[in-house]
Each structure stands twice: as structure tokens, then as C-alpha cells.
A and B are shown apart, each in its own frame.
Chain A
């Protein structure tokens, strides 16, 4: 009687819920908003998801404060994330993506664009063209439409070194790769291994590959390899792999040896170089290294640590391999458009640049915005590079560039088998680039 009815009611509710949620799901994209609205007319709310947490998150919030001053009627919310790939996957798959997201790999952008989850940002085209070099604009363009603008950049063609170790060994910052290998031997003789690798984080190995390949094979081949127009078994790839093998063969010259480095993650590999008792003299990684140094070691800029540009090989000119966070749009609205325009402007970048720990790919963010000598050097190199090449693994499909490539290069780190590795890379790429 009463009990039966309650059961029926419960079952009915359950079925209704199931039905409702099955129908819900779809992403309702609103119509494209008008452009050219004045700042105070724009109202609404916009949420942006990005992986800037901790102190970086605070800096980005300061940037949003600047936005709020310009657009007082817009409620801009920042959603931090520790795993942006995961959070975006869940949100998009679950039917409720954020309005905007700043993703570190354009490969991810391409995935979402293919699935039809993204809205183009052509309304910002003129702002973007005014503020970014052609290389950067092209990176944000898919099939002729602009989908993303790069807000934060990273210069990965830097090598950070322990000033005292270099002094003890009596070597100067080298400018060519041959000079560098020679310096590495001298450093080794001075009693400290030259290299520190965080090989347990596979992307550190892909960074090394990309810096070498860009300089040995040149920018054109680099781009062809990125789109898989040439195979990974190409002779140019093997040449670079051989150069890497030459470094890895000298296990005594790597902090922890090959086995130790394979278990070392990136942050620890930085500490190894700049701790009070250094375990290595240098690390070839990007301009985000100082952030780790400041958080984990007592080393001070220029007195204890410094950097030199990744050395040249041959005469391919000044190449910068780097990365960046691309702002992409999932849901269109006047508020979202306003934020995109703002982030594309030099004003936004300057706010963060002044706080430190930031490089802007925006060519109109002046040198003076940077308060720190080292950041000034690396950031200007980034924005003014003759040839800027985006990190290849970040441009590749995630199954390759964020997964298979890592483990294959980790195996290579251990066995230094050039031919076998090239074949494995080609097989994995063929699967992923379908």
C-alpha cells in the first residue's frame, strides 16, 4: 500500500533522472556576439580554466583584476586546475566546458577543434595580427580560422648552469654545440657531472630532441616532422638521435648515472644542479627553471645561477624552440570575447611580467616590463626570434606527443639504440597521426 507507492515513486524518479540527463548533455553554443562593444557596455560572466596554481595562480588573478578594471560589469572567474587535460576532458565530455581555457599544448586544441567543441576567435584577428609575429599567429590558426591566441610563452632554448661549478671548472658559457661537448668534458674532469636530466619526466627528453633537431635539420624539416610529412626514420632524425646517444653514452657525466636519472623527476633534476652541494653543473631546460630554483634551493640569480642560449649547430641561425599557453574558446559570449581581446593585448602581459616568472610572446610587451635581468633576456629572445618553433611534442596528437614519445625516448635514454628507436617512434606516430 503505502510502501508500494513509495517504491513506485522512487523508481519513477530514478527513470526520469536518467532520461533527463541522457537528453541534456549537448553543448548549447550561443550565437556569436557582436564585436566592437565599448568596455562598460559589456556585461555577463566568463570563466577561464588554466593550470596556473599556487603563486602563478595569484599572478593570473592580478591580470584578471586588470581586466575587471577595464570591464567593470563583467564577472570574470578563474578556475585553476592541476591537470588541465583531465579537467577539460571531463568538462567537455560531461557537457559543461568552461567559456575559455588556456591550454599548454596546441595538439589538444586541434583535438577539440576536430570534435567541434571550439568556437573560432576571428573577432580578435586584428588585435592578434597587430601584437604577434607570423609564427605565433599561424600556430593559433586551424583550417584558415583563428582559434587561439597565446598569452604566456616559454623559451625552451635555454641552458641553466651553476655559476660556481663553471668557475671551478674554468669554463665559459659555450655558444656552439662542439664548445658545449668540450666544456662538458672539462666539467667532468673537475669532479662534477656536467648534465642533469629529469628523465622520469619524458618531456625533458623531447625538449632536448627538439632543440637539437631544429638546429641540425633546420626549421623547414622541423615543421615537416611536426605534421608527420616526413617519417621518424628519416636520416635527419637519426642524426639527432645519434647526437643524443653520444651524450647519454657518457653515463658518468650525468647526475645519478643513466639509472638514477631515469628515476629523477624534473623538479629534482633542477635541485640537483643548484643545491648547496650540486650533483651536476647544468640543465638544458626552459625559462621556467628559475621558478623551481627559487622554490627549492637557496641559489640566487646571476650570482649562483645563470643561463646561456642553447648553443648553435651549423649555421641555421638563431632558433628558439618554445612553448606557450593558448587561450581557446568553448562558449561564445560578449564577456568571453572581451576577455580574449584583453588577453591578446600587451596590457595583460605587462601586469604579469612585472610580477616575474612570465614571458610574453606578445611583441608589444616592452623589455622594460620585465623586472628581472634573466627573464628579460629569455623573454626578449622568445618574442624576437628569427625562427620560432613551437615544442613539437605539444603540437602532436596527445597519444604520441604526451605519451608514446615519452616512453620510447626513455628507453632510448637507457639503451641508446638509434635505429630501433627511430622505428618505434615512426610506428607510434603512424598510429597517432591517423
Chain B
């Protein structure tokens, strides 16, 4: 009764168009199979789609028809153009990446006996709702602060094992005659001769960074033939007098102080005592300057700004691939399981290598399944929303935005611009069709002859 149709994404039979009566009857065998599905689709899908199209032609408040005004807004709004650009990036990268990961994992785990544990690990993210997954990545992985964000924490730990730690992390000079920064060191802008005294006061030092060995800072005693000075935390509650060593102000021990000659070259170095004082002895009559060496300061690791405007899209893409690869793996693994073993064995006994078997036999046989994964991902990525909502902080929303997110913003976040939101939904829909046809054609071509 049924015609012998090809086993690919159908080829219509070459017969001339049949008369009406026969067409109706040809629906007969299919009806009990597709009937319930079509009913569900008609009510829950087609009706809302039509309602949305109609809504997109109406004003935001409803009731009036403004025809294509809402659509015009899509192409003139900067933010929406960014959204379209971002979606293009997602579509270009993600479906291919997800399918590739899934294929790789499915194939590799097929050969390994204990694959269930690995599959579990890759699959678990799927079981977490997309929104919760986004929250987890944002709150625990991507935070800039290395004490909270896992990725930056690991980078920081690695970095710390290679760099030396300094006494302090930050400081500012307390008086105008001390200049510089933590990157260059702090220099006292005063020419000093033997017998002079140097005061190097620093502020903005958290009290818990002062080494435990520190003692109350002391005014340095002038020494004949040498230069003495003190490096201390020039702050007491209320501020105190900058530039003067007062009670409740502690010296900073272990600071490297450089002695610079008239050309700025370092001639000597020494380290401060527990009370912050230091001494350079037996100096001649030339003029010198003193400087707190920059190695005193080890800036704490700032952390990569994953959630900043530059990296936010890659950050979201990584989190999404983390959740979606499991989906691809499961579907492709099922497809692999359905391939008859003897076909593969036959190819192997014919002398083909593993790679050739994979490329020439497995992949073409998997083509229908791969197309499901790929196309579903393309559509899913065009619609991507939950991840953007969960991961992008308010300040980078405009950089991270995608079409579905703008649609939500316009319709549901209180702006009540339902007309524009509906137009965006229709726009998304229209975008999908050509992508769809393109991809189905591609898979159909690869599958011919299977």
C-alpha cells in the first residue's frame, strides 16, 4: 500500500499529481499516526504563533494596528543590532562545538568499559536546570575576585607559586614629597647628604598586613657620615598628622630601601628594622635619594574579568557547552548503538583502518542523528535566553544580549512593549527557516546513498 520511499529526508515520488479523491485517501494510513501530534501542534504551537504574528503588527499597548513600525525598530536600535551580532557568533561556534564534543565523547566512551562514570560527569550538568547552571557559573566560577571565583582562584594560585610575595600589597604616600607607585617604588623627592634623615610615610595599608614583628615607629636618629630614615604606616585613628611619626603608628619591618645616587642609579640597599628604621653608613659627600623598592609590594592577583564586556560572550558560551555536550553525547551514543556491528566488522576485515572506518562508515551512518543534534543546537542557540539571564550581570547585559533576551526585556521586564517583543519573536522565527533549510540540505547531501 505504501510506496517505497527513500530512507532519507524524503524524495517525492515522480508520479503525476493524483486526483483529489486519491490524495485524501493517501492521508488515510498516516492519520492515526500523525493525528494526535498534529492536534497538539495546532493548538499549542500554531495558534500561539499566529497570535504572536498578529500581536507583532499591533501597538505595544494593544488594540491598534501599527503594521511594520515594530519591525523597523529592530533594525534601528543599537542594542538590538548587538543582539543580532551576538546570536551570529553563537550560531557560528556553538552547534559545531557541541556536536563535535558529543561525537568525540560518544565514540571514545564506547570503547572504554567504565564509561558510565564519565558519562555521568558529562551528563550531570543537563540535570541542573539551565538557569541554576548559569547561577552556579556566575557565582562560583566566573567571579573576578580570586577568593570567590574558582577559575581566577586557580590562576591566582598558579601565579603565586611563581612570583615572590612582598611585604605589603598596596600603599599610598602620606606626604607630597614622596612620589611613585607600587609598580615603581616610592621615592623621597629630596636630595640627602650624609647626616640627613629621611621620612617615608605610607598610608592605605590595611592594619592586618603589617607584619607581626612590627613595633611602634620611631623617629630616626641622625648619624654622622650616613643617612638614616624610617618607613612607617603613617596613620592612626582620625588620620593623625601626615609626615610625622606619632604614637599608635607602626613601623614596617622587612622593607627594602634603595639608596640612589645623583643619576638615579641604585648604589646600596638595606632592609628596615622592626620599628621601620634603616641606615646607610659611610657615605661620601655626594647627594643621594632614598626609595622604597617596588619589590615590597606584591599586588594581589586581580583576576580575569570573565564577566566584563569583552569576555562575557565567551564565558556564556563555555557554560552553555558545559551543559549541552551531555545532550549531544547521549543522543549520538544512542545512534552509535543502533549501528549494526557487522557493517563495521565488514569494513574492518576489508582492511580499513580505524580512522577510515570512522570517517567512511560510522559518520555517514550517523548522519541523521548528527543532524538532529546539530539542528536542535542551532535552533536552541538562536533562542538562547536562560544562560544570558543567569550569567550576565546588569552592567554587561547590553554587551551580552541576544535576540531572545531582548524579546524578554521588551515584553516582560516591565517595559510592556509587547508589540516590539512579538516582532522580535517573529524575526527570530524567520531567521530560523533559512538556517534550517540550509542544514537539512547539507545533511541530506551527505546521506544520499545510505
**CB proximity to B under 8 Å, residues A372-418:** 398-399, 402-403, 406-407, 410
Residue contact A17 to B43, C-beta cutoff 8 Å: yes
* Cα–Cα, bound, A167→B248 (Å): 14
Do residues B39 and A403 form an inter-chain contact, with CB atoms below 8 A?
Answer: no
Which A-chain residue is minimally distant from B50 (CB atoms)? A18
Q: How far is the CA of A13 from the CA of B43 in the complex (A)?
A: 9
Contact A3 B31 (CB under 8 A): yes
Cβ contact within 8 Å between A89 and B144: no
A14 at the interface (CB under 8 A from B): yes
> A1-43 toward B: CB 8 Å interface, digit per residue (1/0)?
0011011001101100110010000000000000000000000
**Interface stretch (choices B201-209, B217-225, B338-346, B370-378):** B201-209
Whether the Cβ atoms of B39 and A202 lie closer than 8 Å is no
A89-B411, A406-B394 given; A191·B144 CB < 8 A: no
Tell me, yes or no, whether A108 is within 8 Å of chain B by CB.
yes
Q: How far is the CA of A6 from the CA of B50 in the complex (A)?
A: 24
The answer to whether B413 and A191 have CB atoms under 8 Å apart is no
From 415 to 429 in chain B, residues with beta carbon under 8 angstroms from any chain A beta carbon are 415-418
Is A17 a contact partner of B47 (Cβ separation < 8 A)?
Answer: yes
Scoring A residues 88 to 113 as 1 if CB is less than 8 Å from chain B, else 0, what string do you get? 01100100000000000100100100
> Is B351 interfacial (CB-CB < 8 Å)?
no
Across the interface, do B237 and A86 meet the contact criterion of CB distance under 8 Å? no
B207 near A191: Cβ-Cβ < 8 Å:
yes
The contact string, 1 if C-beta is below 8 Å from chain B, for chain A 320-338, is 0000000000000000000
Given contacts A17-B47, A190-B235, A256-B145, contact A4 B207 (CB under 8 A): no
Q: Give the shortest distance, in Å, between B55 (CB) and chain A (any CB).
A: 9
- Residue B335 at the chain A interface, CB threshold 8 Å: no
Residue contact B237 to A169, C-beta cutoff 8 Å: yes
B393 within 8 A of A: yes
A93 contacts B31, C-beta separation under 8 Å: no
A410 touches B395 (CB 8 A): yes
Which residue of the partner chain A has the closest CB to B25? A4
Q: Choose, from A55-63, A222-230, A259-267, the stretch at the interface.
A: A259-267
A407 touches B414 (CB 8 A): no
Closest A residue to B206 by CB, please name it: A191
Q: Point out the residue from B24, B42, B308, B413 that lies within 8 Å of A402, measured CB to CB.
A: B413
B61 within 8 A of A: yes
A186 cross-chain contacts in B, Cβ below 8 A: 238-239
A114–B47 Cα gap in the complex (Å)? 29
B398 at the interface (CB under 8 A from A): yes
Most buried by B among A10, A90, A265: A10
Whether B414 and A263, one on each chain, are in contact in the complex, defined by CB atoms closer than 8 angstroms, is: no
A189-B204, A410-B394 known; A259 vs B144 contact (CB < 8 Å): yes
In A177-223, the 8 Å CB interface with B consists of 186, 188-192, 199-202
Collect the chain A residues with CB atoms within 8 Å of residue B398's CB. Answer: 407
Chain B, range 31-52, C-beta contacts under 8 Å to A = 31-32, 35, 38-39, 42-43, 47, 50
B49 CB to nearest chain A CB (Å)? 12
Determine the distance from Cα of A263 to Cα of B307 in the docked complex, in whole angstroms: 7
Bound together, the chains give a CA A170 to CA B50 distance in angstroms of: 67
- Residue on B nearest A193 in the bound complex, by CB: B204
Q: Kindly report which residue of chain A lies nearest to residue B47, judged by CB atoms.
A: A18
Which of chain A's residues has its CB closest to B41's CB? A14
Q: Which residues of B contact A192 (CB under 8 A)?
A: 206
The residue of chain A having its C-beta at the shortest distance from the C-beta of B209 within the complex is A191
B145 touches A403 (CB 8 A): no
Measured CA separation A167–B172 after assembly (Å): 21
Chain B residue with the shortest CB-CB distance to A409: B395
Q: Are A407 and B397 in contact (CB under 8 A)?
A: yes
Please provide the chain B residues from 370 to 410 with a CB less than 8 Å away from any CB of chain A in the complex: 393-398, 409
Given contacts A86-B413, A202-B394, A402-B413, contact A170 B39 (CB under 8 A): no
Nearest to A107 among chain B residues (CB) is B414
Is A168 at the interface (CB under 8 A from chain B)? yes
Q: How far is it, in angstroms, between the C-alpha of A83 and the C-alpha of B206 when the chains are bound? A: 40
- Asked if A263 and B43 sit within 8 Å, CB to CB, the answer is no
Q: Please state if A256 and B144 are interface contacts (CB–CB under 8 Å).
A: yes
Measured CB to CB, the closest approach of chain A to B437, in angstroms, equals 27
Whether A234 is near chain B, meaning CB under 8 Å from some CB there, is no
Q: Does B75 contact A (CB under 8 A)?
A: no
| Cβ of B160 to closest chain A Cβ, rounded Å | 18
Judging by beta carbons under 8 Å apart, are A170 and B409 in contact? no
Which of A14, A86, A259 is the one whose CB lies under 8 Å from B39?
A14
Contact, CB under 8 Å: A14 / B43: yes
How far, in whole Å, are A17 and B48 apart by their CA atoms in the complex? 12
Residues of chain B with a CB closer than 8 A to A171's CB: 238
The residues of B that contact A188 with a CB separation of less than 8 Å are 172, 203-204
B395-A263 in contact (CB<8A): yes
Q: Which residues of A contact B39 (CB under 8 A)?
A: 10, 13-14
B305 neighbours in A (Cβ, 8 Å): 259, 263
Known contacts A263-B144, A403-B413; A189/B239 CB under 8 A: yes
Using known A-B contacts A191-B235, A403-B409, determine if residue A89 contacts B393 with beta carbons closer than 8 Å.
Answer: no
B166-187 interface bits toward A, Cβ cutoff 8 Å, 1 = contact, 0 = none? 0000101010000000000000
The answer to whether B32 touches A3 (Cβ under 8 A) is yes
Contact of A7 among B31, B203, B236 (CB under 8 A): B31
Q: Which residue of B lies closest to A279 (CB)?
A: B145
A349 to B423, CA, bound (A): 44
B417 nearest CB neighbor, chain A only: A399
Check: A85 CB closer than 8 A to any chain B CB.
yes
Q: Shortest distance in angstroms between B39's beta carbon and chain A's nearest beta carbon?
A: 5
B35, A7: Cβ atoms closer than 8 Å: yes
Bound state CA distance, A108 and B397, in angstroms?
A: 22
B412 on the A face (CB < 8 A): yes
In the complex, A187 Cα to B170 Cα: how many Å? 15
A189 contact set on B, CB distance < 8 A: 172, 174, 203-204, 234-235, 239
When the two chains form their complex, are residues A200 and B412 in contact, meaning their CB atoms are under 8 A apart? no
Asked whether, in the complex, the Cβ of A199 is within 8 Å of the Cβ of B395, the reply is: yes
CA–CA, A170 to B235, complex, Å? Answer: 10
Distance in angstroms between the alpha carbons of A44 and B391 in the assembled complex:
44
Q: Are B31 and A6 in contact (CB under 8 A)?
A: yes
Assess the A402–B414 pair: CB atoms within 8 A: yes
Q: Does B16 contact A (CB under 8 A)?
A: no
- Check A170/B203 contact, CB under 8 A, given A202-B395, A398-B415, A399-B415: no
CA distance A189 to B395 in the complex (A): 29
Of chain A, the residue at the smallest CB distance from B238 is A170
Query: Chain A's nearest CB lies how many Å from the CB of B342?
Result: 40
Beyond A171-B238, A189-B172, is A4–B418 a contact (Cβ under 8 Å)?
no
B28 CB within 8 Å of chain A: yes
Closest to A410 in B: B395
Please tell me if the beta carbons of A201 and B236 are within 8 angstroms of each other in the complex: no
A71, chain B: closest CB distance, angstroms: 32
Report B-chain residues with C-beta under 8 Å of the C-beta of A7: 27, 31, 35
Interface residues of B (CB under 8 A from A): 24, 27-28, 31-32, 35, 38-39, 42-43, 47, 50, 61-62, 143-145, 170, 172, 174, 203-209, 234-239, 305, 307-308, 393-398, 409, 411-418
List 24 contacting pairs A-B, 8 Å CB cutoff, sorted by A: A3-B35, A6-B31, A7-B35, A14-B42, A14-B43, A18-B47, A83-B413, A93-B418, A115-B61, A115-B62, A169-B237, A171-B238, A189-B172, A190-B203, A190-B207, A191-B203, A192-B206, A256-B144, A256-B145, A260-B144, A262-B308, A262-B393, A402-B413, A406-B394
Besides the known contacts A105-B414, A168-B207, A259-B144, 9 further A-B residue pairs in the complex with CB atoms under 8 A apart: A3-B31, A21-B47, A85-B414, A86-B414, A170-B238, A190-B237, A256-B144, A398-B415, A403-B409
What 10 A-B pairs have minimum CB-CB distances, sorted nearest first? A170-B237, A85-B414, A170-B238, A191-B206, A200-B393, A189-B203, A86-B412, A3-B31, A398-B414, A262-B395
